[in-house]
Amino acid sequence: MAQSLDKALQQLQLDTLCRFSPEQVAALQQTTGLDNDNLALSLLPLAQQKALPTVSNFRVGALAIAGSGHWYLGANLEVDGLPLNHSLHAEQSAIGHAALWGETTIDKVVVTASPCGHCRQFMNELNQDKLVIVLPQTRQSLAELLPHAFGPADLGIDGGMLNAPAGSLAFDTEDPLILAALSEANASYAPYSQNRAGVALLLDDGRICRGRYLENAAFNPSLSPMQLALSQVLLQGATPTRIRQAVMVEAEADIRQHDTAAQTLARLSPVALYSLVL
């Protein structure tokens, strides 16, 4: 990371270097003299530091620039001992991060390496014609990277993964961890399976890291709530060893999240997953 950018980040005195407000972005641009794209590219090493590539040893960083002007970091996550489909890609991490903050559009996705087909298909679920992918050496639209794409419209789904109507799952409790998981389940996007699901992980310092299910028309690039919640643990500068409680809430449906979520968590933490099906 350039020294001027490193100093600019220190001056901001951020609690966590994973989300930047429009004001913070403007301050960084003023201090460093970097334009929008070059500043975003310069922040990618910060995202890469938050990766957990236990299988590939290949760190990928990504940054999602939302329509609100906020910037969201993302990093890849791999789970040692489990099949590769348990991996979380950096682009998914960044977009899921933005989703957790209520973003409804993503203008750009900035990434250290060209997105794989899995990620291109996942980004297509945003259902945004003008989404731009920024790489260190080039700048292209998603339509250029994924021509003749299959997406939600082909299955009769309007909108996209960031514009889903809220769910109506309910559970009588005052437990803040269950309520956090319930909130994420109701905010999740599951138009193909109807299996709304949310996860909440309590860390040893009292922070709650959340995740929600984000489904895909091609099915396999779907992002599980446990993957997203674990990604949040890493992005917030913690490790899975600091998890003290784990809760998942999911809707009754033809598919279930529990077994995969529990298996993933078990490889990274001794904490058992408490699960509610509503």
Residue where the block lists tokens 């992918």: 133
Contacts of 69 (CB under 8 A, 6+ apart): 21, 22, 25
Chain-centroid distance of CA 260 in Å reads 18
Decide: 218 and 241 in contact? Cβ < 8 Å: no
Structure tokens at 59: 């760190």
Active site residue 91: yes
Q: Which of 91, 184, 215, 250 is labelled catalytic?
A: 91
Q: Minimal CA–CA distance to 37: which of 65, 14, 76, 59?
A: 65
Backbone angles phi, psi at 111, to 5 degrees: -145, 155
Decide: 161 and 218 in contact? Cβ < 8 Å: no
Point out the residues that are catalytic. Answer: 91
